[in-house]
Structure 1
Amino acid sequence: MADDEGASPRELILEACRRNNISLLEDTIEDLTKAAKKAGKKSTEYVAETLNHAHDGLGNGCLHLAAAYGSYEVLDILLDQEGLEIDEVDRMERDTALHRAVRYVNSLDKSEWESVGQPIVDILLDAGCDPRIRNKAKLKPIELVDPRNTELRSILQKGEYAIMAGDDIVQDDDGPTGSGSDSE
């Protein structure tokens, strides 16, 4: 009888994302970790797999919901999970979590843009979300920004530049103190 078992881990994760409920999310991740160890599986992979497959009926993943509801603390925990897919697109609009975050900021009162909304976009960009991805309407997140919100537009532009610059950087194996010559 499934009714006696209560909500599944995926349902709990999605609920935590909607309500910014960090204790529910942390408890669920802890339960998943214990279940993985009990089953002889790698806990980080098991947790990531569960998070990556947690979708609502419309195809929204956990990051989509957390971004859409402005659940900053939950996003912070989710983005710390190894193996989490950060640029997943939803089924309906082909939006990423970054698209959803911009829509969330647009839904706020202008007085809340900087203090409440922009940290949601910042944390996603800091985690490596790609602001160059286009949705079903062929729009990047920056193209969804309220035209009056020049600060958010600037944040997303910097995010695009950072990713493009990162694509052009070749890492040196010697590190900052290593020799610039092959002969030592």
Structure 2
Amino acid sequence: MADEEGASPKELIFEACRRNNTSLLEETIADITSSASKGGGNPTELVAQILNTARDGVGNGVLHVAASYGSYEVLDILLDQEGLEIDEIDRMEQDTPLHKAVRYANSLDKSDWAPHGHPVVEILLDAGCDPRIRNKAKLRPFELVDPRNTELRSILQKGEFAMQAGGDVVEEDDDGPTGSASDSD
């Protein structure tokens, strides 16, 4: 994994999250996987365990850091990791990664909201992050959005509705009223 005097895998992952460095992240995950395989462990479980327990000095997890820095490509890789906890809570504000993504979008110039801020929020929603979770101040991510950013407010409202509807959404199928059309006599 890492040299005795070098950075630990967790430190490398956080660096990748801060800099949107996909090469460093993929290399570190590959090293963790290789180490687990050599040691007879389950590589998928070890990667998930390291990602889920990694915390920076103020209690942010890897998704918090990636979302805070708008590291879209790194988020994409992290969210593909099996067993990753996507709604973890940070220690300071009790924010989820989705709260951090909204704060990141708010920090951008208005002209950068749609091209840079919204995709970070959308990738987290697409991965299943729950926009209904409240932080320490009892605020949902929607309530943190700059009021002028109506598009992001709409994105989060749709995310909340989708979560609320959950199992109530009816999927249309082409089987007709009696079942499969492949039934033959």
Partner of 2:82: 82
Matched, 1:112 2:112: yes
Deviation at 1:165? 1.2
Query: Number of residue pairs matched?
Result: 179
Partner of 1:46: 46
Structure 1 residues 93 and 3: CA distance shift in structure 2, 3 A: same
Alignment partners' CA distance in 2, 1:83 and 1:65: 18
Structure 1 residues 93 and 151: CA distance shift in structure 2, 3 A: same
Partner of 1:126: 126
Deviation at 1:81? 0.3
Superposition CA RMSD, Å: 2.1
Alignment partners' CA distance in 1, 2:131 and 2:23: 30
Deviation at 1:177? 4.4
Q: Which runs of 4+ in 1 moved over 3 A?
A: 175-181
Partner of 2:99: 99
Deviation at 1:27? 0.2
Query: Match of 1:27, SS?
Result: helix
| Deviations 1:157-182, CA, capped at 9 Å, x for gaps | 000011111143589xxx8649857x
State the TM-score, normalized to the length of structure 2. Answer: 0.90
Matched, 1:144 2:128: no
Alignment partners' CA distance in 1, 2:38 and 2:176: 45
Structure 1 residues 42 and 146: CA distance shift in structure 2, 3 A: same
Task: Determine what percentage of the aligned residue pairs are the same residue.
Answer: 72
| Structure 1 alignment gaps of length 5 or more | none
Alignment partners' CA distance in 2, 1:86 and 1:36: 23
Structure 1 residues 110 and 43: CA distance shift in structure 2, 3 A: same
| Structure 2 alignment gaps of length 5 or more | none
Partner of 1:14: 14
